[in-house]
Chain A
Amino acid sequence: MSITYLEAIREAQARALADDPRVFIYGQDVGAFGGAFKATKNLAEQYPGRVIDAPISEDAIIGAAVGAAIEGMRPIIEMQFADFSTPGFNQIINQAATLYWRTQVPCPITIRLPSGGTSGSGPFHSQSLEALYAHYPGLIVMAPATVQDAYSMLLEAVSIDDPVIFCEHKYLYYHLKADCLPTEAMPASKARIARTGRDLTIVAYSAMVHEALAAADELQSEGTEIEVLDLRTIKPLDTDTIMASVARTGRVLCVGESFPWGGVTAEVVSRIAGEGFALLDAPPQRLNAKDTPIPYHPNLWAVHRPTAQAIANAARKLVRM
């Protein structure tokens, strides 16, 4: 038996619904249809009245989630694509993220964002918005890279008393498989060493973890040992695990799929420069998508975001610095 990243997300939601009567799912097409990606397949049937179709109103969807949270519920919101969370942006950053700070009433909502690029999806169905949300106080931002994390981190997200932006990667939905669901998990707030190495640390998250691992395989044959660190959660950043890895390797390349100005990679490099400058043997480097909207044509898309090849090239340069 094998289970995909997407099925893990569905199973986590099924378990959350089964375990906690306060959980319900609200989003466009999530009901009988099972969601645009089928992440809620059969759940409306299994949990009548608790998997609710919403109008195309991202603002009102998030607003309603906040109201339900005030009433003690734990809504899981599916944004059809991460890109479409921007019409709900105001409710996320000004309503959900400020509620606890202002009133001491927690806001336990999980907002699932089908994120990242897939070939042919174009400018409005490919975005990665984790940096945007991580910028705001009051939000937790997760970006699982494995089937096990997709399952366990989503369950943890639902149990947390704060709004969680759950960035699940659409490319991993069908490409990533595991033998079974995990029975135990490491805390969502901790980063994971996905591969050990002594020459260079690549800090990555979400789909970029797999590109980094492929690059590490390639450089292995050239005698370069790369450590790959999977952030798992973007906010809070597990700075301790990052610093410990940089202390071992002295070199760091931070890879993200989103746009290059600012963002997660810039934050990681900034923390390393500020807190671990003395650990470095070379300037910390970043690799991101290009500074254009995400292109539609597969030829263009293939080089817009960092690939294993691009990461390997950057790593080769960095180990020689």
Chain B
Amino acid sequence: MVQTVVTRGSSPADADTDIQREQYLEAFRFMLLAMTLDDKLASLYRAGKIPGGGVYLGKGQEALSVSIGITLKKGDIFTPLIRDGAGRLAFGETVVEALRTCLGSSLGPMRGRDGNVHRGRPRDGYFPMISHLGATIAVVNGALMARKLKGISGTVGAACIGEGGTSTGAFHEALNQAAVEHLPLVVVVADNQYAYSTPSSRQFACRSLVDRAIGYGVTGHSLDGTDLAACLNLMRLAVQNARSGAGPQMIVARLLRLCGHGEHDDASYIDAKLKTSPLGRDCLSVAEKQILLKNWGSKEDLEHWRAETSHTVDEAVSQVQREAPPDPFRENWCALASKHFAEGYEELA
């Protein structure tokens, strides 16, 4: 029987008691790294150094994203979406590896065959997204079903989606499937107010997306996505629930995308009032203030971390920019693992 408990409001856990200082600071430093990497990618984009041209940033979503990556354990499954740079790094992706896909190095996991945010290492539980929103949630379901068949228990799968992606049939089918199979799935909805340029009011008509949880028979949680402590607390609870057999968990985090859909987009459509509302807070600034307030770090520490992070990113860029791009003449141009089933086309060229 699927237990349905809808938790409303953010998790206002006291950071002093509930969050280990170390984990908070570790999460913050991943956020800083993701933000620095994003800034560097934006510069490279403006300089025309991104092959293919697409750059999609995670500004405003770092706290939510990092809390997923940092809470999951080795052996768990993570399928991030386009604004989850922080979560990817916390789950184990290195800056060099991220850059290899973004800059088209042949040494990256996608070897130039796919780019930017479409990257992952499925064998390590890091599933690459496809552009069709909602479609990768069922893939996580299938991996979790396979583990059940193999008698493996205690692992969790987390899938990221935006509020726009919840409008797809694929999202609905996958949530329902996860509930029917009672899978240890955590779906994290970043309700960032805009799907490209479309505001939430044109995306759904329910009061809150978390109200849908009860309809699926999954546990729903609401979250202030700008508050790192709340994100870490709730993620720990949801992942623990899923791991202990409580079935799928659906987290709906409210926040604001603090950039365009991609760097090609000036985001002029974003309501100015939202930017100055609590929803428009930059989660990194909020976390920095928290660190100073709690005396977990000094201004000098923050300066030092920033400098260290910039150095890491600069070094990685300089390394990856020297790596060879894919060579079309060495590419085998076969989409099948079973090479004996490849078509033999005669070409004039």
Binding site for B on A (CB under 8 A): 24, 49-50, 52, 54-55, 57, 59-73, 75, 87, 90-91, 94-95, 97-103, 105-107, 137-138, 140, 160-162, 189, 235-237, 239, 274-275
Of B20-28, B285-293, B330-338, the segment with at least 4 beta carbons within 8 Å of chain A is B330-338
B337 close to A60 (CB less than 8 A)? no
Question: Is B177 an interface residue when CB atoms closer than 8 A count as contact?
Answer: yes
**Residues of chain A contacted by B173 (CB below 8 angstroms):** 55, 57, 59-60, 63
**With A91-B135, A103-B128, A236-B343 in contact, do A73 and B146 touch (Cβ < 8 Å)?**
yes
Q: How far is the CA of A64 from the CA of B135 in the complex (A)?
A: 10
A-B contact pairs, 23 of them (CB 8 A): A54-B177, A57-B138, A57-B177, A59-B135, A60-B177, A63-B138, A63-B139, A64-B139, A67-B142, A67-B146, A70-B143, A70-B146, A71-B142, A71-B143, A71-B150, A90-B132, A94-B132, A95-B130, A98-B335, A103-B128, A105-B123, A106-B337, A162-B338
Binding site for A on B (CB under 8 A): 109-110, 113-114, 118, 120-123, 127-128, 130-132, 135-147, 149-150, 169-170, 173-174, 176-177, 180, 335-338, 340-344, 346
B338 close to A103 (CB less than 8 A)? no
When C-beta atoms are compared, the residue in chain A nearest to B168 turns out to be A59
Q: How far is the CA of A24 from the CA of B149 in the complex (A)?
A: 9
When C-beta atoms are compared, the residue in chain B nearest to A108 turns out to be B337
Interface-centre pick from A71, A91, A98 (highest chain B CB count, 10 A): A71
Q: How far is the CA of A98 from the CA of B110 in the complex (A)?
A: 12
Interface-centre pick from A64, A99, A161 (highest chain B CB count, 10 A): A64
Q: How far is the CA of A263 from the CA of B103 in the complex (A)?
A: 38
**Residues of chain A contacted by B335 (CB below 8 angstroms):** 97-98, 100-101, 137-138
A100 close to B336 (CB less than 8 A)? yes
| Minimal beta-carbon separation of A149 from chain B (angstroms) | 16
A237 close to B343 (CB less than 8 A)? yes
**Residues of chain A contacted by B137 (CB below 8 angstroms):** 63
The 7 closest A-B CB pairs, nearest first, are A67-B142, A63-B138, A64-B142, A71-B146, A60-B173, A57-B173, A67-B143
When C-beta atoms are compared, the residue in chain A nearest to B79 turns out to be A67
B128 close to A102 (CB less than 8 A)? yes
